[in-house]
Amino acid sequence: MKKTPRFLFVASSRKPALRPSWVRCLLLGLCAPLGVTGAAEAPRISETGDIIRVEADAYRWEWSKTSDAFQIFDAEGRLVVKGGLQPEIVVKLPDRPAHSAAGRIGGHKLAKDSMVVTYTAVNGTASARLTLRFDPTAIWLEPVRYDGPASEDVVELRYFSVQRRPQLTSTLAVIPGLSDYAGISPIVAARVRLDATNWLGRGGPPHLGLHQQWGLPVHFFCGFENASDHPVSNSLGTALSDAFCLGLADLPAGDLLVRTNSGNHSLIVSTRSDLWHHLRGPGTLTLGATLVVTFGADFRASIRAYYTKLVETGTIQIPTRSPRKQSVLTTSQFNTWGDQVMSHTYGQKLNEEHLTRLYDAMRHSGMRPGMFVIDDKWEGRYGNLSHDSDRFPNFEAFLGRVRQDGLRVGLWAAFMRCEDPADLGLTSEHMLRGVDDRPIRMHGSYYLLDFTQPEVQRVLRERAKRFVRRYRPDLVKFDFGYEIPSLSRAAPRDMNFAGERMLLKGLQIVVEAMRVEDPDIALMYYSLSPLFMKYIDLHSVDDLICHPGEYGIEANRRYYFSSLLAEIGMPTYGSGGYDWESIPAIWFDSALLGSIGSLQSLGADELGGTPTPERIAKFNGLAQLSRPATQFRIDVLGGRPAFAPIRAAHATSWARYEAGELAGVALRDRVWPAAGIEATAPVVIASRGSKGLHQASRLALVPYGDGELQLKRSVSSRPVEVRLHLADGTKESGRATLADGSLRLAFRERTDRGALVEWIEIVFDRD
């Protein structure tokens, strides 16, 4: 039986003294594992007059029995968010427009750690029930139970909404996936009066509101309060509350949307039973999905708490990976897509001649990635998962050459597309069908498989296994989820896997089949949802196609959010845009987050830029800084104020922690006194081995300019050896001093004879 969804509200305090020890440890970067639960005092539930109050160390919840309004306060007593508790249930009777009518509170019942609220006269004659359960750091809301005597269809469930007007109120909202365009901030102030309905899920067609491309965060949004209406002394220091993060802890069988209007918000699960008739009365219906609301000192901390809670409750598990798979996930990549776009060799125009020429050009450029990834379209026809023998007569021999050169192989694949059902032994009945009962056809060229059907699942599993056996890819660049249409346009045969659940079902079928053939195969996807952790190994920020002229700015914003996934075992692949000018900055930002990559054309880019030796040297050098761990913590340095609409969701520098030790830093800010690091020019530095920067016997450094590094050492060691690894393949010795517990190293991008430095190796001899 499928697990019933629940809501979850979680709180953690800004006050360190009020946090359980494991939370304090996590937020300070001192612990490696998540989900290590310590003792915590149970919340205290009381009833005084009209108010039900739940008091915990890190939050306070209040609910009015007469108005149905709730408020949540942080540990300092500041209001964080407020709203109405009763969900809005939009229904449709035959031959009548969709409608909703709020009910009235019929009663409540308190127990030791729970509260049940019953609403009567909902939509006239129905009733609804909510069950809330409290624990030291969480408030759980069980699914909405809806009992109605009428033969009506549930169109959508709207949380925190009355008559389709959003009621969850915060003066500042953070909707990370609001827009793919960097010029539109994800931080939205109420006074801006934004009025829009947007996807909070996968983002399928038809598109809503602002354009949202894949590669942006889904399944959560954040908010916080500013108690000061006008600028006054220190108002942005004391009046700002802790932030909340409202996210899914289970996937709904519906489309997930967010409605925003002038500082009021509503979460929507659109089920469209008026079209598909799968949620129809009379009788009892279970509606909703699991939500979790977490709190932190700022919105990034609240997202971190969201991920932590999912691990703590067993909703997701941090994966255990073999050394081979960890190596694949942290290997630098060259992807063919950018060159395909620039040379107009995408789609059926890609052939073996161009692919070979591109590979030869990459090798000739001096770029030394660890993996060569072939993008769309090496397949003959979508769905077959076999190469086009006319365009690629020696495809498997080409893959063998790549491997013989010491590189891993990655292949792009859209498993759920199908150009001709007959190729797979299927018919149009096995394709995803629209409201008109005709198969959906995307861009007039291919269908989408309805993989909720057993026969389609059988075919998909067989094809996925054959694909792995034949081509033996180390990594699969998975493509598809954003194409799943909304329920207003199409639906699968099995509505238990409709909406947000459909992608998870597809991943389960394909990935589990591939892992039968190769348990270490890695899957990369554009996903910032922790709920796909079981099947997705590596997050990709994608190609940033909407950001010409500012690829680096948008990449930095995406890394700001995606870097948090590393704490639950999903590192980030640092893909780029289409120009060479911005890519060194993108590599700087992504070097410590997982793996770096190149999407650039090896000819002239859209600005006429080329892969200069200086740029190639940066790629090769940063690839040497890659660390094998796939679970680690990234802290942002030089982060902007959380309320700043343009600058907030960006970082100037990054710090990486493993097992509580500082393992690397990408420092633009140049001075970081708390860590004992100072540099007079930007630099990326990482330890080599299991010890942190302050204890490791070997360090690796890539300079972004000429300057001097000073690094405090916490272990005694003898004078250091410095080796300069040069772009021409030679090495030179450098100079460093070790005095008063600090390393002092002068670094340059070129040697005295003008040779390019790729990276600098620093070796200490222990006393």
Q: What CATH number corresponds to the domain at position 600?
A: 3.20.20.80
**Residue 286: which CATH number?**
2.70.98
Asked if residue 672 and residue 571 are part of one domain, the reply reads no
Residue 149, pLDDT > 70, answer yes
For 623-675, write each residue's pLDDT tens digit: 999 999 999 999 999 767 788 888 889 999 999 999 999 999 999 988 898 89
For 512-538, write each residue's pLDDT tens digit: 999 999 999 999 998 889 999 999 999
Q: How far apart are CA 335 and CA 174, in angstroms?
A: 32
Asked if residue 640 and residue 566 are part of one domain, the reply reads no
Asked if residue 680 and residue 561 are part of one domain, the reply reads no
pLDDT band at 459 (very low <50, low <70, confident <90, very high): very high
Greater confidence, 255 or 136? 255
In total, how many domains does the chain have? 3
Q: How far apart are CA 316 and CA 322, in angstroms?
A: 19
Beta strands in 515-647 (DSSP E): 522-525, 538-540, 572-574, 594-598, 633-637
Residue 3, pLDDT > 50, answer no
Assess if residue 657 is contained within a domain.
yes
pLDDT band at 34 (very low <50, low <70, confident <90, very high): very low
Task: Please list the residues that pair with 27 across neighbouring strands.
Answer: none
Q: Are strands 283-287 and 264-270 parallel, antiparallel or unpaired?
A: unpaired
Residue 767, pLDDT > 50, answer no
Asked if residue 456 and residue 406 are part of one domain, the reply reads yes
Last residue of a domain, one of 578, 597, 623: 623
For residue 703, give its domain range.
633-763
Q: Which among 619, 614, 624, 766 has a CA at the least distance from the CA of 687?
A: 624
Conformation bin of residue 386: beta by default, left when phi > 0, alpha when psi is -120 to 50? beta
Sheet holding 736-739, edge to edge: 671-672, 677-679, 707-712, 742-747, 736-739
Rounded to the nearest 10 degrees, how much is the dihedral formed by the CA atoms of 15, 20, 21, 25? -60
Last residue of a domain, one of 597, 623, 649: 623
Last residue of a domain, one of 571, 600, 623: 623
Assess if residue 490 is contained within a domain.
yes
> Residue 115: CA atoms inside 13 Å, Cβ hemisphere, count?
23
Query: In the predicted model, what is the mean pLDDT of residues 678-695?
Result: 95
Assess if residue 618 is contained within a domain.
yes
Asked if residue 124 and residue 86 are part of one domain, the reply reads yes
Assess if residue 329 is contained within a domain.
yes
Assess if residue 317 is contained within a domain.
no
Assess if residue 729 is contained within a domain.
yes
Helices (H), 153-198: none
- The H or E element that residue 339 is part of is helix 337-342
Assess if residue 628 is contained within a domain.
no
Burial of residue 3 (number of CB atoms within 10 Å: 0-12, 13-18, 19+): exposed
Asked if residue 199 and residue 126 are part of one domain, the reply reads yes
Asked if residue 348 and residue 257 are part of one domain, the reply reads no
Number of other CB atoms surrounding residue 163 within 10 Å: 12
Q: How far apart are CA 57 and CA 38, in angstroms?
A: 14
Asked if residue 610 and residue 577 are part of one domain, the reply reads yes
Asked if residue 245 and residue 361 are part of one domain, the reply reads no
Asked if residue 381 and residue 247 are part of one domain, the reply reads no
Residue 394, amino acid: N
Assess if residue 22 is contained within a domain.
yes
Residue 604 token pair: 């002239």
The alpha carbons of the chain give a radius of gyration, in whole angstroms, of 27
Asked if residue 489 and residue 461 are part of one domain, the reply reads yes
CA of 563: how far to CAs of 460, 467, 575, 717, in Å?
32, 31, 14, 33
pLDDT band at 715 (very low <50, low <70, confident <90, very high): confident
- Structure pTM? 0.93
Q: How far apart are CA 320 and CA 309, in angstroms?
A: 19
Q: Which among 634, 628, 660, 521 has a CA at the least distance from the CA of 568?
A: 634
Q: How far apart are CA 432 and CA 449, in angstroms?
A: 6
Asked if residue 500 and residue 370 are part of one domain, the reply reads yes
Q: What is the pLDDT of residue 12?
A: 39
Residue 448 token pair: 């989408």
